[in-house]
Amino acid sequence: MGVVNVTPDSFSDGGVNLDPDTAAAAARRMVEEGATIVDVGGESTRPGSEGVLADDELRRIVPVLERLGGEVPVSVDTSKALVARRALELGAILVNDVTALRGDPELAGAVADRGAYLCLMHMLGDPRTMQDDPRYDDVASEVAGFLERRLAFAVAQGVPEERICLDPGIGFGKTVEHNLELVRRLDLLVALGRPVLVGFSRKSSLRRLTGSDDLLAASVGAAVAAYERGASILRVHDVKPHVDALTVAAAVA
């Protein structure tokens, strides 16, 4: 899953893809490099970020989706039903919701009505506060329990279980050790029976581990570690290096 943030303030590529033509070109390039799907988002969820109105989110992503014209498999990174409905009308096939259907009571219906796919992510608190001293007794068990409950909720709201994937939310209300423990014990999430998405790409935990601002090698390493522990989807900013590394990892598995 390639990442195209159409925002001025995302933690890694904020401002890079604000121009719709640039963003659409980036999405096409990612598919050419081997991405199966491209995640387009118009609202930053980096630590400390404030939310934006649905109209602002739509103003950012609609021109991109219009330029892609359904030619590229697209996921829309949103927690708003209004945004999801419009994105699905324009060809998106998956809704990537960082709130796991807690942000908008109408989002599950929007996904179910269109027969779309859905990703449910764990987040402690909200983007503004999530890194304010996050604590768990057992992070892997607690995240797995949360996602199991949200999966059951989504199914009860009419989203078929076979169309749902789960994301432990690396960096969303977790310390460096929490993030590492989640990857280390990814089998707890895999045991829930749904595809697991991991997004460790360019996260600040990697900078704290390596002491480097160049996070490409660290991102690839984290992705391979997650893949070897059962992750089915890797959400990344640098597609080709990840595709190459995962191709080799799969060949020797």
Catalytic residue ranges: 203, 235
According to DSSP, the residues that pair with 40 across neighbouring strands are 4, 76
Torsion, Cα 172 175 176 177, to 10 degrees, reads: -120
SS3 assignment for the chain: CEEEECCCCCCCCCCCCCCHHHHHHHHHHHHHCCCCCEEEECCCCCCCCCCCCHHHHHHHHHHHHHHHCCCCCEEEECCCHHHHHHHHHCCCCEEEECCCCCCCCCHHHHHHHHCCEEEEECCCCCCCCCCCCCCCCCHHHHHHHHHHHHHHHHHHCCCCHHHEEEECCCCCCCCHHHHHHHHHCCHHHHCCCCCEEECCCCCHHHHHHHCCCCCHHHHHHHHHHHHHCCCCEECECCHHHHHHHHHHHHHHC
Backbone angles phi, psi at 198, to 5 degrees: -125, 130
Residue 214: CB atoms within 10 Å: 9
CA pair distance 207, 112, nearest whole angstrom: 39
